[in-house]
Amino acid sequence: MNWKKFSGELIHKPILKEIEQAIIRETENGYKLKICIGTDSQVKGPITNFATVIVLLRAHHGGFMYIHQEKSTHRMGIKERMLAEVQKSIETAYSICDLLDLYDVGLEVHADINTSPSFKSNKALNEAMGYILSMGFIFKAKPEAFASSTCADKMVH
């Protein structure tokens, strides 16, 4: 998987190593960290673009993020696409969760799914929430899901 910084700079080492170095650096600088992971998607004709972000939040001192973008030509309905977003976020969370346990860093998985039944994405809410919680992760949906609904949303194109 190719990851990059918000600046566009490519990460040339495994993302796990990059995250570990960031945790060590930020902790040594006195920051308490929390990591939020989210994915958003956008359909453009026959292509669905996905962006997954790993946001490192410094308590009361902003944060920074790493981004992975990918494309799919698989046609999906809204529910399937929402669950594909959740799957990508969970795979990312799962790949770094041992590291976060080691350094005692909190983790949230954010889903770009609206909690209001009047929105189409709400159809996937129960499955997404069950999936994330059953994996042992903390779940956030809109409007608290800023990693997916704001950060990843800006990176998907």
- Name the nearest CA neighbour of 125 among 82, 94, 92: 82
Cβ(68)–Cβ(95) below 8 Å = no
pLDDT of amino acid 80: 93
> How high is the pLDDT of residue 55?
97
pLDDT, tens digit, for every residue of 65-109?
Answer: 999 999 999 999 999 999 999 999 999 999 999 999 999 999 999
50 and 69 Cβ atoms separated by less than 8 Å: yes
- Write out the chain's pLDDT in tens, 157 residues: 799 999 999 999 999 999 999 999 999 999 999 999 999 999 999 999 999 999 999 999 999 999 999 999 999 999 999 999 999 999 999 999 999 999 999 999 999 888 888 888 888 888 899 989 998 999 999 889 999 989 888 888 7
Q: Is 57 helix (H, G, I), strand (E, B) or coil?
A: strand
DSSP state of 120: G
CA-nearest of 92, 107, 100 to 140 is 107
Smallest Cα–Cα separation from 38: which of 62, 17, 15, 67?
67
| Model pTM score | 0.92
Which is nearest to 106 in space by CA: 93, 95, 125? 93
Kindly list the domain boundaries of the chain, sorted by start residue.
Answer: 4-155
d(CA 89, CA 25): 24
- Using a 10 angstrom Cβ sphere, with 0-12 exposed, 13-18 middle and 19 or more buried, the burial of residue 4 is middle
